């Protein structure tokens, strides 16, 4: 039946569609910070955290022997900041050194708070290292030379910690008391800031390390390789645990003669007395399958009233 629609009916069909606002393609967009184009992944930050936890433990032992006092070192933070934000977190004045990271380009920053540097200087010069008063002044050139032994201890342990990722040689290139005077990075450049709390005697302070994110991003593949190697290593306890989990498992075992094929018509015409030739030598090993996968080769044998399979060789990948 031919029926024409009225104008009101046509408008009723299209008006709901016209009333809907078009989908905004940008509503699901994620804001991108162009000031930080070299941000690194969260999993890599976690790997850096684990790496510097090991560094903190080793540094505690090294400083205890160096200062002849019980030293506690705790990793308090690993985060990614702009160089300007990192600068604002540092005390002033303080002890700063610029570190070369050979063979990679770029410089890292090592900062030791005055609240920690002066008690260490006192301890190295024969004092008790106990803070009697807060000292708020710059470190002199002579005191910088005395602190060189401390820097060597820190950089050696830091280098050993990074050795599992890449052989990086940390060397001192410059010294300052104000971070702005080093001028090694742009304010918007991204750095990975590592904070370590150090306590000995009755004193405590913070050691801050700022490493350029662009260098750490270059090492992403090495972090992944190190993580995969760590995951592949298992202890005897882990192996025993996995064995206990697998012991109640069931497997389907099949010993098969991999002979010729036959068409279904020929198979249906077989009668009693017919002989099939497998063309399979008696001394040729039989395939032994575990859950349908070729695992071993060997021979079917008899022990008492039971049939058994005698394994002769392990199937190597690519031999199927």
In the prediction, which pLDDT does 317 show?
A: 65
Please choose, from the candidates 214, 219, 212, 107, the residue with its C-alpha nearest in 3D space to the C-alpha of residue 169.
107
Two structure tokens written together for 304: 């008492």
Distance CA 104, CA 13 (A): 67
Chain centre distance of CA 187 = 28
Say if 1 falls within a structural domain: no
* H or E element at residue 71: strand 71-82
- Both 67 and 130 in one domain: the answer is yes
Q: Assess whether pLDDT exceeds 80 at residue 241.
A: yes
- Both 198 and 72 in one domain: the answer is yes
Distance CA 81, CA 85 (A): 6
3-class SS string, 178-206: CHHHCCCCCCCCEEEEEEEEEEECCEEEE
Percent with pLDDT over 90 in the chain? 11
Q: Assess whether pLDDT exceeds 60 at residue 137.
A: yes
Among the ranges given (129-133, 218-222, 248-252, 272-276), the one the predictor scored with the smallest mean pLDDT:
129-133
- Both 174 and 286 in one domain: the answer is no
Find the CATH number of the domain harbouring 206. Answer: 3.40.1550.10
- Both 95 and 211 in one domain: the answer is yes
Between 299 and 281, the higher pLDDT residue: 299
Residue 77, strand partner residues: 195
Chain centre distance of CA 23 = 40
Which pLDDT tens digit goes with each residue over 36-69?
545 677 777 888 888 899 899 999 999 998 988 8
- Residue 264's domain comprises 251-314
Distance CA 54, CA 248 (A): 39
Which pLDDT tens digit goes with each residue over 165-219?
888 899 988 887 776 666 777 778 888 899 999 998 788 889 999 988 888 888 7
Between 111 and 256, the higher pLDDT residue: 111
106 phi-psi bin (left φ>0, alpha ψ -120 to 50, beta other): left
In the prediction, which pLDDT does 140 show?
A: 83
- Both 197 and 273 in one domain: the answer is no
From 183, 204, 232, the end of a domain falls on: 232
Taking the complete model, does pTM exceed 0.95, yes or no? no
The whole-number average pLDDT for the span 241-259 is: 82
Which pLDDT tens digit goes with each residue over 3-18?
666 777 767 766 654 5
Alpha helices in the chain (DSSP H): 7-19, 42-67, 83-88, 114-124, 141-146, 148-162, 213-218, 220-232, 236-246, 264-268
Find the CATH number of the domain harbouring 305. Answer: 2.30.330.10
From 169, 203, 232, the end of a domain falls on: 232
| Residue at token pair 């044998």 | 301
Q: Assess whether pLDDT exceeds 70 at residue 225.
A: no
- Both 274 and 309 in one domain: the answer is yes
Q: Assess whether pLDDT exceeds 70 at residue 279.
A: yes
Q: What is the mean pLDDT of the chain?
A: 80
User: 50: which DSSP letter?
Assistant: H
- Both 71 and 105 in one domain: the answer is yes
């Amino acid at each position: 039946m031919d029926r024409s629609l009225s104008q009101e009916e046509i408008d009723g069909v299209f008006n709901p569609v016209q009333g809907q606002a078009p989908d905004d393609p940008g509503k699901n967009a994620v804001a991108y910070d162009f000031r930080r184009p070299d941000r690194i992944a969260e999993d890599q930050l976690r790997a850096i955290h684990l790496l510097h936890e090991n560094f903190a433990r080793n540094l505690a032992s090294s400083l205890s022997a160096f200062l002849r006092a019980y030293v506690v070192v705790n990793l308090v933070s690993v985060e990614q900041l702009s160089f300007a934000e990192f600068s604002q977190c540092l005390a002033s004045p303080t002890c700063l050194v610029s570190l070369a990271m050979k063979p990679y380009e770029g410089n890292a920053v090592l900062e030791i708070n005055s609240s920690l540097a002066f008690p260490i200087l006192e301890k190295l010069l024969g004092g008790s290292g106990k803070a009697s008063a807060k000292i708020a002044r710059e470190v002199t050139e002579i005191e910088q030379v005395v602190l060189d032994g401390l820097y060597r201890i820190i950089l050696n342990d830091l280098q050993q910690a990074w050795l599992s990722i890449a052989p990086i040689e940390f060397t001192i290139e410059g010294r300052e008391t104000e971070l702005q005077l080093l001028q090694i990075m742009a304010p918007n450049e991204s750095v990975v800031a590592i904070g370590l709390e150090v306590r000995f005697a009755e004193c405590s302070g913070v050691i801050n390390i700022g490493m350029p994110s662009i260098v750490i991003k270059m090492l992403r593949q090495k972090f992944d390789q190190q993580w995969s190697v760590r995951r592949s290593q298992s202890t005897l306890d882990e192996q025993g645990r996995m064995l206990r989990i697998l012991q109640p498992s069931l497997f389907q075992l099949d010993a098969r003669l991999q002979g010729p094929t036959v068409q279904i018509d020929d198979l249906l015409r077989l009668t009693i007395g017919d002989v099939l030739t497998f063309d399979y030598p008696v001394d040729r090993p039989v395939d032994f399958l575990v859950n349908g996968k070729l695992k071993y080769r060997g021979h079917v044998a008899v022990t008492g009233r039971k049939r058994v399979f005698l394994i002769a060789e392990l199937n190597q990948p690519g031999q199927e």
